[in-house]
């Protein structure tokens, strides 16, 4: 993948911790990742956002060395992610984690720790992720949420430079999710780099400073959270009306109707001019989810490096 001599992993602030250069991954005739360029710098929290099948997990797999690109180049902390010297900088929680059912939680943590030169202590991992009470439990007997918490904790056990969290809080209740966010923030506050994928827009909004929107394997947007919203400049207009006004694309149930538009002023003026009998008018900026849907629909190649 990468040729020639490789230096030891870079630990300089501002260094590139993960890089994809025109990376493509094909499965048979399908393209999961299609010519992606991406740089993640030390200390960033980057959210990968996209609908099912957009290529998020495949991209994470490529950046973390569990998959090889069909073409293009990937780097992790300045080297090949398949090289153990560079893998030591990495913590990863894949979407599906197979934990050995007969091992106890503490044993699994120790097993993972043993692969790293300067890991967290067992009790640090247990405490930080609220697993103290479960240390002696066999992983086979854990609930789905407990397994997920352990899987995320394991990503941090080796005291990594960069963590990749693929849908980290799927299946967790609100409290457990917030606890995990806190642990991720703590890692970030200590200088750690984070790449996370999520379907929970709340999670991306809570954690990410930069959002990379993927659609059909391509980067549709790569910008700050605010800029991703700004890119589409969509407003959501809601009205109550006994009948849907003709000539407008309002959707909704009952008499509450909604419309996404880039020009809310024009729509409201037209509603008034045409004497539409609306009430309870509400106009607000689109949520990230709405912005993201609009971006995906447009298939726009938008705003690289607007962060």
Residues that bind ligand ATP (CB under 6 A): 27, 30, 32, 50, 52-58, 95
CB of 183 to ligand ATP, least distance (A): 22
Identify which of residues 57 and 296 has a Cβ nearer to ligand ATP in the complex. 57
Integer CA distances (angstroms), 247 to 38, 253, 274, 279, in order = 42, 18, 10, 18
CB of 208 to ligand ATP, least distance (A): 16
Identify which of residues 24 and 95 has a Cβ nearer to ligand ATP in the complex. 95
Q: Which token pair is 267?
A: 């729509």
CB of 27 to ligand ATP, least distance (A): 3
CB of 38 to ligand ATP, least distance (A): 14
Beta 90-93 vs 193-197: how paired, if at all? unpaired
Identify which of residues 56 and 87 has a Cβ nearer to ligand ATP in the complex. 56
CB of 166 to ligand ATP, least distance (A): 7
The residues, ordered by sequence, that sit 6+ positions from 81 with a Cβ below 8 Å of its Cβ are: 63, 64, 65, 74, 75, 87, 90
Identify which of residues 216 and 270 has a Cβ nearer to ligand ATP in the complex. 216
How far is 257 from 253, CA to CA, in rounded Å? Answer: 7
Is the CB of residue 244 less than 8 Å from the CB of residue 250? yes
How far is 198 from 51, CA to CA, in rounded Å? Answer: 10
How far is 7 from 85, CA to CA, in rounded Å? Answer: 10
CB of 171 to ligand ATP, least distance (A): 14
Signed CA dihedral, 172, 177, 181, 184: sign only: negative
Answer left, alpha or beta for residue 246, where phi above 0 means left and psi between -120 and 50 means alpha: beta
Identify which of residues 55 and 158 has a Cβ nearer to ligand ATP in the complex. 55
CB of 167 to ligand ATP, least distance (A): 7
Integer CA distances (angstroms), 273 to 171, 255, 266, 268, in order = 49, 20, 10, 9
Identify which of residues 12 and 52 has a Cβ nearer to ligand ATP in the complex. 52
Identify which of residues 197 and 235 has a Cβ nearer to ligand ATP in the complex. 197
How far is 18 from 249, CA to CA, in rounded Å? Answer: 42
CB of 59 to ligand ATP, least distance (A): 7
Is the CB of residue 266 less than 8 Å from the CB of residue 204? no
Is the CB of residue 157 less than 8 Å from the CB of residue 120? yes
How far is 161 from 79, CA to CA, in rounded Å? Answer: 13
Identify which of residues 75 and 166 has a Cβ nearer to ligand ATP in the complex. 166
Is the CB of residue 113 less than 8 Å from the CB of residue 124? no
């Amino acid at each position: 993948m990468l040729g020639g001599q490789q230096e030891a992993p870079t630990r300089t602030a501002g260094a590139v911790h993960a890089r994809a250069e025109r990376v493509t991954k094909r499965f048979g005739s399908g393209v999961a990742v299609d010519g992606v360029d991406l740089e993640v710098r030390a200390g960033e929290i980057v959210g990968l956002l996209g609908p099912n099948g957009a290529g998020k997990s495949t991209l994470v797999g490529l950046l973390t060395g569990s998959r090889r690109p069909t073409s293009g180049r990937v780097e992790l902390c300045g080297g090949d992610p398949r090289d153990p010297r560079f893998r030591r900088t990495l913590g990863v929680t894949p979407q599906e984690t197979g934990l050995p059912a007969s091992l106890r939680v503490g044993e699994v943590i120790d097993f993972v720790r043993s692969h790293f030169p300067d890991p967290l202590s067992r009790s640090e991992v247990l405490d930080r992720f609220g697993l103290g009470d479960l240390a002696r439990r066999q992983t086979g007997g854990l609930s789905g949420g407990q397994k997920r918490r352990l899987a995320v904790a394991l990503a941090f056990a080796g005291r990594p430079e960069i963590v990749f969290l693929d849908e980290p809080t799927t299946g967790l209740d609100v409290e457990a999710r917030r606890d995990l966010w806190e642990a991720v923030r703590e890692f970030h506050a200590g200088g750690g780099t984070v790449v996370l994928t999520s379907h929970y827009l709340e999670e991306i909004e809570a954690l990410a400073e930069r959002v990379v929107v993927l659609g059909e394997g391509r980067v549709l947007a790569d910008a700050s959270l605010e800029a991703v919203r700004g890119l589409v400049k969509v407003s959501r207009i809601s009205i109550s009306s006994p009948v849907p006004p003709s000539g407008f694309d309002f959707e909704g149930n009952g008499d509450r109707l909604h419309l996404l538009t880039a020009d809310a002023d024009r729509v409201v003026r037209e509603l008034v001019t045409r004497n539409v009998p609306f009430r309870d008018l509400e106009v607000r900026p689109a949520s990230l989810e709405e912005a993201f849907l609009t971006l995906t629909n447009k298939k726009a190649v938008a705003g690289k490096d607007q962060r």
